[in-house]
Amino acid sequence: MRAVTNGAIATLAVACVALPLFGSSYQIYLAELIFINIVAAIGLNLLTGNCGQISLCHASLMAIGAYTTALLTTRVGLTYAAALPAGTMVTTLLGASLGYPARRLSGLYLALVTLGFLEVVSIAIEEFPELTGGVRGLKLEQPELAGWPLSIGVLYYFVLGVTAFAIYAGWNIQRSRFGRAFNAVRQSVIVAQALAIPPERTKLLAFCIAAAFAGLAGGLFTAVVGFIDPTEFDVSASLRQITFIAVGGLGSVLGSVVGAVVLTLLPEMLRGAKEYSDVVYGAILLGTLVLAPKGIVGSLTLLSGWTGHPKARSS
């Protein structure tokens, strides 16, 4: 089983690296969108799937990353390679400023606070048009990656590299002391405390990590799409990201990847019926929650008895 999985991963990796050689520019763009969604989903999954904290504002953290990166390149004149980490950092700080007061909350109340945060961010974007372009959006001129311009190929490999790093980082965070602390806090705050895990600090850390991934995804989104406006980051965007992790599998990095890939490709396959895409998304999400709450990866793990999934081992 392990050999088959490794083979599949190797084949996929080769396909990802070779894509610009044979793919059309649209396929490359689509692959980049998938990568961005993977980055965002991994962050959200660490927060929601592992730490058990509902967040409805992941899309607005992504918006903060996207706008900060865009403004740093266009207004301040930083290169993209410098603006992206700076944007990620700003998003992490803002995520921390939300996470710090919200660290005592959970469940429904946290859902409401994050929903409020989402609305505040979208109002702020719309109310400062001279900075953010307001509802008309913000266009990013062809960015420079530290010296040489971001051509399609360079951008693709850059996004691919960042995504690979994000998957690696997400994987390691999940299997580190902190990732195990997240799982403990989700399963029982009391047990976590008995194991000398401070729940509030752990939740705050999960918030910051999720915000960092969202900011990174937002910064990549800016460069790939070249145009950002507030409708990209509304509550249905947050819900889409939640769909990625719920359908892929909560609490699993592989689940985030699978969910993001499947659900980014799906609307493309349904392009003949574009107006149905929200219905399909909603139906898939609802169907998963009601019928297969463990998601694709969780269900497959149950079927095959493969123990690579942390939840399968613990339960």
Q: Which of 67, 80, 117, 233 binds other proteins (CB under 8 A)?
A: 117
Examine residue 129 and tell whether it contacts other proteins (CB under 8 A): no
Helices then strands, counting H and E runs in the chain, come out as 15, 4
Examine residue 51 and tell whether it contacts other proteins (CB under 8 A): no
Instruction: Give the binding range for other proteins (CB under 8 A) out of 5-13, 15-23, 47-55, 224-232.
Output: 47-55
Instruction: Give the binding range for other proteins (CB under 8 A) out of 131-139, 192-200, 217-225, 284-292.
Output: 284-292
Q: Which of 8, 14, 154, 279 binds other proteins (CB under 8 A)?
A: 279
Q: Which of 142, 276, 304, 307 binds other proteins (CB under 8 A)?
A: 276
Examine residue 270 and tell whether it contacts other proteins (CB under 8 A): no
Examine residue 285 and tell whether it contacts other proteins (CB under 8 A): yes
Work out how close the CB of 94 gets to other proteins at its nearest, in angstroms, rounded to a whole number: 14
Q: How far apart are CA 32 and CA 226, in angstroms?
A: 13
Examine residue 48 and tell whether it contacts other proteins (CB under 8 A): yes
Q: 């079927």: which residue's tokens?
A: 303
Rank residues 67 and 117 by Cβ distance to other proteins and give the closer one.
117
Question: Residues 143, 77: contact at Cβ < 8 Å?
Answer: no
H or E segment and range at residue 144: strand 144-145
Binding residue count for other proteins, defined by CB under 8 A: 36
Q: Take residue 14 and report the two structure tokens written for it.
A: 């080769």
Distance between alpha carbon 253 and the CA centroid of its chain, in Å? 11
Examine residue 278 and tell whether it contacts other proteins (CB under 8 A): yes
Q: Take residue 65 and report the two structure tokens written for it.
A: 């990353």
* 144 phi, psi to nearest 5 deg: -110, 135
Examine residue 131 and tell whether it contacts other proteins (CB under 8 A): no
3-class secondary-structure state, position 142:
coil
Axis crossing angle, helix 235-248 with helix 58-71, rounded to the nearest 10: 120
Instruction: Give the binding range for other proteins (CB under 8 A) out of 71-79, 177-185, 210-218, 271-279.
Output: 271-279
Question: Residues 198, 45: contact at Cβ < 8 Å?
Answer: no
Examine residue 101 and tell whether it contacts other proteins (CB under 8 A): yes
Examine residue 96 and tell whether it contacts other proteins (CB under 8 A): no
**Cα four-point dihedral sign 198, 214, 282, 168:** negative
* Residues 6+ positions from 195 with CB-CB distance below 8 Å: 184
Of 216-235, binders to other proteins (CB under 8 A) are none
Examine residue 200 and tell whether it contacts other proteins (CB under 8 A): no
* 123 phi, psi to nearest 5 deg: -65, -40
Question: Residues 263, 247: contact at Cβ < 8 Å?
Answer: yes
Contact residues for other proteins, defined by CB under 8 A: 48, 52, 54, 56, 101-102, 105, 107-109, 111-113, 115-117, 119-120, 123, 127, 236, 239, 242, 246, 275-276, 278-279, 281-283, 285-286, 289-290, 293
